[in-house]
Structure 1
């Protein structure tokens, strides 16, 4: 490690701790506030509402706030406190606030009591339209998205509904820097790459377990939003890759009663019921409930493979008092499906075959014996409590369990003149359990002219992974006329281990505001203990003890016109679950670092945001998959480098038009070893997307809307050597949607709506990936019609 970096990283932590030790100036609460020092009252209202407020102490010195009592929107509460102070509240185009003296001839108007609770957005709550204005991704605090000095995209609930999202692959398709469905749509998993790396998935502030095949496939219907943070985030979240992370937020109970039922029918006999309900349990609203879920019974594009899912997600919120809230969040999912991505031979897909092309729908496994049965459940809570005028405490806790039984036969080798091809078979039994808890204290205070949001946290994970992978050979199958029901059994055990991992992290972060300047400093120390017992190696054992410091620093300036340029540095550290299949050795943690220069622009009086970023990131100890001796093996290599440019425009252009537009340029390279100079696997050099949804609100087409989208993906390599057989070309796909609000026709139909969504509208024939052994077809056209009733 270069000397200047090794000395720079601990200084980040030392600086943040030093700032935390400065004297705290109290802020306060809302909305039963007595007369008090003006700066104290303003800080408390701003802190509780998640508003960035910059206060010049010289303006508020010696002034007293008016009492604030009743139901106010946050901005109205601030104005009420300012009555008679001779000061006015100013809002920048970036959504931040400051104070200024009233003109000498200005007349102080009486306060107006306004109930506008729905006008304030939370980083963990619902969003109206496509543009989320607040996020906790990357900071764990409720931060204005335009001021977060990182590349972050958010798919809101409304955006996901407009596009008919069915999976995480679908949810992130229109975000920059991400490759979705790398192997085509897979009913078992989401195959994502962000800036060249597989992202860690976080749900409600806690990481999801990461095993081999058993990983949960999150149900997007249960999500309020999906945020994609691009770049390292270990200084707050701990073990994450340098490419980025998904920060998902579950639907949570709401005080306002709402119910929804949706029926779907579509391609491949897709049949699905979605439901959601929330509201008060008691009249006082001390207890709130939430319930959502999915029942799916569908075929797939592959012959004889079904996609069945049974999911339910209950939640309950207890509002103990105005300072304390506890939300229980649970979920159960049962999946019964198979390998829809298939493993098709090169001959008949990318290369010529003696018997012609292999059908997109052909099942070359054995439906009489193949299965993929996964049961996933999680139970946890989100607790928050305000201790006093300055400090608040949050604790997120969850226990997760996922069990899998998996068997599949798949082709291997060349296609013979008569169409026969050999086959392998995998038998997998895997279960993974995880206990995760994250505790943090947040303090909002001032030191002189500086406004601080200080975060002190401690998190811990305990992960147990039992993994048995048996490998064998199945009888050959004919790619034109497959015969099923043949017998086969495993030949030998490829991997059989029990791995226990204990991960603990201590972190500190300070978000500092000085007038229009914003400075973020953070640091974290991680301790990881991983013990693995290899049953297939005469019970040999291996123990890895690792610790690492991860830091981050960012500086930005919030211009009054809504432009926010920033420069950030961040590091990553990731302990890898699993083991090297060629030895009895656990994987080493990966480490990464990134510099990013970007700007965000949120125009005044427009519900839009534009972002641009360039970055340079590096990672060491990279995990890669390749075929050695006919067996797929995961191992670790040296250093890789990724540089890129990302552009994004998102928002609600008018009351009728919603828009997403992105462009990505990515340059990736292996820095050493056998494949030095090669591009990273499944990382296109260029991508671009555009989605627009237009809805008529008057006239003959009142209530009718149409959505159109286009997705361009550049060429990729799926083998480390970047050979011709591992190369697939670029492609452009088109999506579309039409929807109609039946309530515009008659008041008796209020709450009823119809929609039809199509992906790959023109049924483009393309390959999503190929390596030296297998190829994978991209998704064919899929059309789903839905009928929704809300009340």
Structure 2
């Protein structure tokens, strides 16, 4: 039995997939592949109707291998062939309307090859038997066979920076080039190359996305100027909606990260108008694959990642996957550390070609120390080392745990209609106690002016939060033809219920005598009695227990209409009902009894149009709105009207270098009303007020993919003008906090593959930059701009049937001092919650794949 390489082309993933195959009966070879992410067996059933339709094909005369690649991309097919069979052969020009099978047959004329249909939309090309006269307009019947295959760890799907489709935009497999919205995808390979451990660092590769930490926990992001504290996981809310939770998102179990720009309420309900972040987790497949990686580096950092998958049954109807990580590290920040473990077992069952059920469990637990950050003096961060922390080495260890239980059921009723049901239950608990700055709105209130503004006034604060969230949706998608137009229709329903408790202790408003510290010459060590006293002090007295509740459900519809294979019209809307409230008391029972209830409902439409004059270029525009109920209360206890968002967007998309490189250029104008912010005029730290109205407008440029087989790139640039346009307290005209006017990044990777002495070496370098940012909405201080340089080098070597990858990454190569963000007043005033970026950091890793 001999081994050969076979390439497959699949538009649903937008990448080549090279796999190892073994000889089969009748002497031909066939690779077997299961597409990653959302490509399931049910979609193959639905594909059969598409493969019987004629589509417009426009291919120039060119080498046969390139022609097959372009045909697969245009028609959305899987085409497999031994690369040696097409080497040196030419394909004729092809222009007109053909079924996919007819098009393949035309390309193979005179090549000595035949096409074999393995399943709807999946074909293999083989050498024609002696005397064969098949015209290739019909497929050869595939003999019964047994297939054995393993994924090649060096396959292009493991190294391509490009993705051609994304679930988040339409909840379908519509190609990005046909979607009239801006959507960016960060594939797993980018996370591997940059050695990102959390989604914060990965999202630096997307325009207009900025982190905004609280307690240094990287739990929220600013998208197109507006803060979004809600992250989605496989299309459902990833965390509870209670206050006080500061979760990290580890990257070990992620296949990709999708960012949909602009309002997404039509499909997802209450989501901020700046955009949506959706995490796509790793899924089981029928091929055996295992990897284990050990990382080690600066600040006593150790991390182990693992990933294993394969079939449970011989017929591959039941498959498993088990991924996860363990990380233990100190920090460049004094007294900070993290000890985190993540496990993610999953099973996928395919009882027949039309049905798939996936079950998944994600469990995370970590011991950590919160980071209270630095502070501002005057209009800039204080001139003290970024390593200096004003918590205490004797702070109690903080804990965080999260469990996600989910399933995904897909059933194809026929070739046109498919039903998908998703469910996710999330349970989140967090307990942290730390020394913090005396809560204040000006520098003078936590720096003692009588001692030269060098004495830092502190107190001790403890918070315990817990939430339970249950969310589900039902999506029915169908493919229709009507009066010469093609329709991809979606109707759906979703429901979410989240309850949470929140307990606070310690006097976090007033300075506690005996906890003062000199910012320039700190002396650490706090008597344990201070902690005991804080934990025994309910604060605010009689109201330190909170109970919150969020419940909403919505119905939505969407129709993607295609005319003449060039014009795409996307229209739809959502009607939503939301109930929110938060009660406070001296116990959780009392807080629940005091729960105020506010009910809101609203309609959110979305319209988009895209014209694709050539297969490589698209012009698009959209108008969309959003609806988000507010669950805060004012100083008088009144509830607040729901937030409303509206966006106009226009842009251009292009694919170059045989669809290997994608580009999106967008202009947008986005407004949001009734934005919640802390009420600075209230002594109640939980009181909020509607800031009024804010506007963000700008341009974005995103680029990702491969320029050549060896050179990969992912980069972005954003110009963002985000300002407050209406406000009760005179903030009109101020820039929104933490939003740079100019920002961007460029990451390049060179993978040597065609120079034998150096084959296996990889080199990469990236530049990440952001301009000056206002630290708060009052614009009282600013974070200076920065440019950070990162780099890596790696070497891949074969060790028998396995592959070893040794890699070294350097972050902040030039050791620049910079600041990432300020606290959004979730756990500290922005002036007392400035989070610096890490200095020069070196990370080494060894990865074994087999």
TM-score range, shorter chain: 0.7 to 0.9
Please report how far the alpha carbon of residue 560 of structure 1 lies from its aligned counterpart in structure 2 after TM superposition: 2.4
Match of 1:635 in 2: 689
Please report how far the alpha carbon of residue 236 of structure 1 lies from its aligned counterpart in structure 2 after TM superposition: 1.3
Match of 2:206 among 151, 154, 175: 175
| Paired residue total | 710
Quick one: higher RCO (CA 8 Å, sep 6+), 1 or 2? 1
Match of 2:539 among 474, 485, 492: 492
Distance 1:91 1:721, change over 3 A: farther
Kindly report which structure 2 residues correspond to 1:179-578, keeping only aligned pairs within 5 A, or say none: 179-180=210-211, 182-183=212-213, 188-199=217-228, 200-208=230-238, 209-340=240-371, 342-347=372-377, 350=380, 357-412=383-438, 413-414=446-447, 416-417=451-452, 419-472=454-507, 473-474=511-512, 475-479=515-519, 480-486=521-527, 487=530, 488-489=533-534, 490=537, 492-493=539-540, 496-515=545-564, 516-535=566-585, 540-576=594-630, 578=631
Between the aligned partners of 1:228 and 1:53, the Cα distance in structure 2 is 34
Distance 1:504 1:333, change over 3 A: same
Match of 1:603 in 2: 656
- Does the 8 Å contact 1:91/1:98 carry over to 2? no
Please state whether the residue corresponding to 2:169 is helix, strand or coil.
coil
Structure 2 residue 786 is matched with structure 1 residue 731: yes
Please report how far the alpha carbon of residue 570 of structure 1 lies from its aligned counterpart in structure 2 after TM superposition: 1.0
Please report how far the alpha carbon of residue 624 of structure 1 lies from its aligned counterpart in structure 2 after TM superposition: 2.5
Match of 1:6 in 2: none
Which consecutive unaligned segments of at least 5 residues does structure 2 have? 1-41, 57-71, 81-92, 125-155, 439-445, 823-829
Q: TM-score normalized by structure 1?
A: 0.83
Which consecutive unaligned segments of at least 5 residues does structure 1 have? 1-42, 58-71, 80-87, 120-124
Match of 1:4 in 2: none
Please state whether the residue corresponding to 2:267 is helix, strand or coil.
helix
Question: What do the CA deviations read for 1:613-663 (whole angstroms, capped 9, x no partner)?
Answer: 001011111122475578755532111111110011110111111101211
Please report how far the alpha carbon of residue 52 of structure 1 lies from its aligned counterpart in structure 2 after TM superposition: 10
Match of 2:812 in 1: 760
Match of 1:678 among 728, 734, 744: 734
Structure 2 residue 758 is matched with structure 1 residue 701: yes
Distance 1:785 1:349, change over 3 A: farther
Kindly report which structure 2 residues correspond to 1:73-88, keeping only aligned pairs within 5 A, or say none: none
Please report how far the alpha carbon of residue 166 of structure 1 lies from its aligned counterpart in structure 2 after TM superposition: 1.1
Please report how far the alpha carbon of residue 411 of structure 1 lies from its aligned counterpart in structure 2 after TM superposition: 2.7
Between the aligned partners of 1:499 and 1:594, the Cα distance in structure 2 is 30
Kindly report which structure 2 residues correspond to 1:76-155, keeping only aligned pairs within 5 A, or say none: 111-113=114-116, 129-155=160-186
- Does the 8 Å contact 2:219/2:246 carry over to 1? no
Kindly report which structure 2 residues correspond to 1:581-620, keeping only aligned pairs within 5 A, or say none: 582-603=635-656, 605-620=658-673
Please report how far the alpha carbon of residue 424 of structure 1 lies from its aligned counterpart in structure 2 after TM superposition: 3.1
Question: What do the CA deviations read for 1:489-522 (whole angstroms, capped 9, x no partner)?
Answer: 1462275321222110100101111111100011
Distance 1:264 1:470, change over 3 A: same
Please state whether the residue corresponding to 1:198 is helix, strand or coil.
strand
Please report how far the alpha carbon of residue 161 of structure 1 lies from its aligned counterpart in structure 2 after TM superposition: 0.3
Please state whether the residue corresponding to 2:225 is helix, strand or coil.
coil
Please report how far the alpha carbon of residue 323 of structure 1 lies from its aligned counterpart in structure 2 after TM superposition: 0.3
Distance 1:330 1:215, change over 3 A: farther
Match of 1:692 in 2: 748
Please report how far the alpha carbon of residue 45 of structure 1 lies from its aligned counterpart in structure 2 after TM superposition: 6.6
Distance 1:140 1:599, change over 3 A: same
Aligned Cα root-mean-square deviation (Å) = 3.5
Please state whether the residue corresponding to 2:658 is helix, strand or coil.
coil
The more displaced of 107-116 and 665-674 is: 107-116
- Does the 8 Å contact 2:115/2:123 carry over to 1? no
Match of 2:838 in 1: 779
Please report how far the alpha carbon of residue 579 of structure 1 lies from its aligned counterpart in structure 2 after TM superposition: 2.6
